[in-house]
Structure formats: structure tokens, C-alpha cells
Amino acid sequence: MTLEKKLSQYFGYDEFKEGQEKIIEAVLNGKDVLGIMPTGGGKSLCYQLPAIQMEGLTLVISPLISLMKDQVDSLSEMGIASTYLNSSLDDATYEHRLEKIRNNQYKLLYIAPERLNSYSFLEMAKQLNISMIAVDEAHCISQWGHDFRLHYKEIPAFIESLSSRPVVAAYTATATVRVTQEIKHLLKLKNPVESIIGFDRPNLFYQVVKTGDKFKYVTDSIKANNQDKSGIIYCATRKTVEGLTQKLTAQGFLAAAYHGGMSSELRQKNQNDFIHDRIRIMVATNAFGMGINKPDVRFIIHYNMPQNMEAYYQEAGRGGRDGDISHCTILYSPADIVKQKRLIQLNQTSAEREKLLFENLQYLVDYCHTNECLRKKILEYFGETPSYERCENCGNCLDQSEMVDVTIDAQKILSCIYRLKNRFGLNMVISVLRGSKNKKILELQLNEISTYGIMREHTVENLREIIMMLVAKGYIWITADEYPVLKLTSSASNILRGEEKVFHKKHLVEMKVSKSKDKS
Ligand code: ADP
């Protein structure tokens, strides 16, 4: 039977999605593969279809326990024998499944990576005829990825322990060069056939909103555009999730919470309520969403800025799976940077990794401050070079705000950083520019430098906005440290010499005198 026939007979689809056929053919020819496809691109089919065709068992390693059950259920409906082993099973069920696996009753077996630690599982695996190992979410093996899982490191040794080497197929939605190199290297893929398909999701409308009242923005925008539509609001912490859910339900919105601190029953209930439209708004931490396939999510709001572009792209990517428009909005506030930094530090990883996480965070901060096309910025992060400068379909491209020349402000800021010898952080630079008399400034005699007080008519927020815009444009570099300092980059001299001009949105650089007394 041809592959197309199998596709329609088992899965009910008329044609392959981009990239699927190439991967499936390679696997069936005994080649290792690396499939890089965005979320929703159809990765599962790339191992499910060949699994039916191949002799023996396909082992799918996946960190997503909730996804395993869903996939096994839908495979069963198609008449494909499959099962899963993970920590959610009681002993009797687990043993019963092992027995059936030993008797070759399944075509696909899903396991969580932790199983690779289990002696009984490893002993059994040696006896099985495993023809393919599909490693889902393969970026979890890379410590440069955003979702490193220690047990993924055990996969290569596991493969070597098998009596014969199966085909190894790795799949991920993370396409940065560093991560893909690591996947190939660590999983020891043998001359893999690679398929990288486009990351652009044209039906997602990206925007960044700077508002002093996030809650009002959320309620106003839902009432105006998304009444009776489904959406997810991502927050950085469980506390914010709880608080926001309460405030929304108090105002009559059909909202529920989802985070790792809730009981699994309640999480499951809320998830089901969301999928079946009994609630409309899921307020969640990043614990929500992996493997959830609700097609008609019309808006994804990030109440707090996410920690990195991979996470953002994945979370935003849960919108509009049906191909219709979905609005993906980050509600930016500078306090979120501090919040995310604290979360990174709480992780207590190595100094090297922490630096990387800070760098990744900075890319998101730049995304929030750029005036360029947001879609382009996202695609560039994933190594794509869009053919356009502007997509004409994102918050920045459609922004009608008046732009004003802020070259002189930029020159003042850059020369202040220069006079401060690239040694101070954002708050200190702002304080010096505003002529603050705080103790540290007087102690360090920073009140004597020539740029002291040259921007006293600006508010703190206003200066922060211009500085971050200059960072996003690459004139200033913020070091990725616990106490980051601002440094000039080589392109800053173009501005200082007056060879280049800088423009910014008028409403963001309006000059207002700070009402509050400067406490910095
Ligand atoms: P991913 O794992 O890449 O996020 P999935 O494997 O969950 O994506 O697939 C996303 C959606 O696309 C699913 O609803 C799946 O049924 C559907 N899909 C996969 N392959 C095809 C195809 N060839 N034609 C139509 N729909 C497909």
C-alpha cells in the first residue's frame, strides 16, 4: 500500500503536511532523521505512520505524560495497537502492559525518559525487536535548550545497550543552530536526513503592549474583541495566576487557573473545561499547554514577559491551530525583567548556563522594545531570513504611532554611559541623567561628571523606555550578569558622531516631569 493510502486509511488525511513525507520515507529507508517543525506542524504522524509500516516495535520517548494518553487513545481509535508506560500507572497495570509488550502486541510504545532508569524496563527492552526510537521534544537533551531534562542524556547509552541499533528519529520545535547541533551530537544520530520546515505562522498576530494597567487591558480587550472566544493568559508565577483568575471570575469572566502547585485532579478538570468550552480563559503558568491541542484558541496573552524566545514561540503557537487568526500579545512591564531574572537565579544552575539564560531573556526584552517587524524578529531568532522587512501583519508593522527624532536624547544617554565608563546599571544611569542626589551618587562623585542632570526633565519610565529601545537597536549592550551593567557597542559611535539618527514612537517618549519625588 502506498504511503498516501496509509495516510488516508489510518489518519483520514488527503495529503502530507510540509516535511512529513521526506521524513517518513527516510525512516522507512532505515535512515536516522532530525525533524524540526514548529508546534502544530504534525510531528507525531512522522513516527506514527512508519511505525505501522515497520516490523517490530517503535519506542516513542516523550516527556509529556498527558500527551501519551491522548495519542494512545486516538491511535486505538484508528485501530493501531499502542500503549504507554509512565509513573501514572499502578503496579498491576504496569505489569500487565509489560506482559503484552513482551508478547509483541503493540506497534508503538510511549515511555517517559525516566523509564530508562528502570532495570526491569531495560532488561525487557533488550529482548524486544525495536525497529525505531522516536525522540520527541529532542531539545530536552540540550542544556542550551529551554527545557533541559537530565534523563534525556541516558538515551544514547540505552540505544547502545540494545541488541541491534534501531533507526533513531529526533523531533523538536526548537531550531536554533546550537540546539540542533547538540541534538545530533548527543543522540549520536548517524548522517541524519534533516527536515526543517518554516517557522512562520502567518495567522498569528504578534504585538507588544506597554500599559500601566494590565488588568484593564485584558478585560477591555476581551470584551471588545474576544467575548465568547477561547484564550490563554500566561503568567510568570503561580501567585499571579491565582490572583488574576480571582479578579477575572469576580468580574464574571469564565476563567480558571492552571499551575504546577494545584492537584492533578483540579488541573485535569480545568483543562477539560477549557478544551470543551465550559470555561473560556485559561490563566496559567508555563506548566499548561505542552501537548494540548485545542484548535480554536483565539488569543494568547502573556501577562508577564516570558523568559526566552523558544518558550514564547511555543506558548504563542498554541493559538490559531485551526489556521484562523489568533492574537498573541505580550503585556510588557520593566518589572517583569526583574521577576524573570529572579526566577532564573532561583534555578541555581551553573554560572555558564545562568549567563545563557540571561542572554536569552535579553533577546525577549529586545523583542519588546524593537520598532521593527515582530514576526521578522521571531523568525530571525530561529535562524530564518524572511524575504521581507515588514510583514504588515503585526503590532509594529500596523502601528500608526507618530515617530519622533530622539537622536539628541540618545546622544545624551550614550555619552552618559561613556562618562560612567561602562560600569553602571540601568537605574544608576537614569539617576545620573536625572541629576539624582542619592547617597551613592554623591559618594562616588558622579554628580561631577558632565552628563549629570542633563535629562532631568524626563521621567524615569521615559528614560528607561529610550534606553531599552537603544539596547534593542544594538547601540547599548546589557551584560548578562547578576548585576548587569550598560556598555556601549561599537555602533554607538555612529550616533555620538551624528552620523545616524534614531526615531522612536512619540507616545513612548513624551516628556513628562516625574510627579513622584526621585527616590532612586
Ligand atoms: P506537533 O506535535 O508537531 O505539535 P501534531 O503532531 O500534534 O503536531 O499535529 C498537529 C495537528 O496536525 C494534529 O491535529 C494532527 O492531527 C494534524 N495533522 C498531522 N498531519 C496532518 C496531515 N497530513 N494533514 C492534516 N492534518 C494533519
User: Which residue puts its alpha carbon closest to atom 17 of ligand 1?
Assistant: 42
Q: What is the pTM of this model?
A: 0.71
Mean pLDDT over 446-464 rounds to: 94
- Give start and end residues of each alpha helix (H) in 162-235: 177-186, 214-225
Q: What is the pLDDT of residues 295-350, one digit of tens each?
A: 999 999 999 999 889 889 989 999 998 889 999 999 998 788 878 888 888 877 78
Q: From its phi and psi, is residue 342 left (phi > 0), alpha (psi between -120 and 50) or beta?
A: alpha
Give the CA-trace dihedral at 408, 512, 467, 214, to 10 degrees: -150
Q: Which residues in 32-64 are b (16+ Cβ under 10 Å) and which e?
A: bbbbbbbbbbbbbbbbbbbbbebeebbbbbbbb
Q: Which of 349, 41, 323, 69 is nearest to 195 (CA)?
A: 41
Q: Which residue has the higher pLDDT, 22 or 173?
A: 22
* Helix, strand, or coil (residue 152): helix
Look at residue 251 in the predicted model and tell me its pLDDT: 96
Report the separation in Å between the CA atom of 21 and the middle of ligand 1, taken as the mean of its atom positions.
13
Q: Which pLDDT score, from 0 to 100, does residue 244 have?
A: 98
Probe ligand 1: pick from 8, 17, 172, max atoms within 8 Å of CB?
17
The pLDDT of residue 335 is: 81
pLDDT band at residue 479 using 50, 70 and 90 as cut-offs: confident
ipTM: 0.97
Report helix, strand or coil for 293.
coil
Rounded to 10 deg, the angle between the 460-472 and 407-419 helix axes is: 90
pLDDT for 515? 46
pLDDT number for residue 145: 66
Q: Which helix (H) or strand (E) holds 82?
A: strand 82-85
With a 6 A CB cut-off, is 41 part of the ligand 1 pocket? Answer: yes
Separation of alpha carbons 259 and 263, rounded Å: 9
CA 237 and chain centroid, separation: 16
Q: pLDDT by residue (tens digit) across 188-230? A: 999 999 988 878 888 999 999 988 789 999 999 999 988 889 9
Q: Which of the listed residues 4, 6, 13 should we mutate to test ligand 1's pocket, taking the one with most ligand atoms within 8 A of CB?
A: 13
| Cα–Cα distance for residue pair 22/461, rounded to 1 Å | 51
**CB of 48 sitting under 6 A from ligand 1:** no
Average pLDDT over residues 238-262: 97
Confidence of residue 291 (pLDDT cuts 50, 70, 90): low
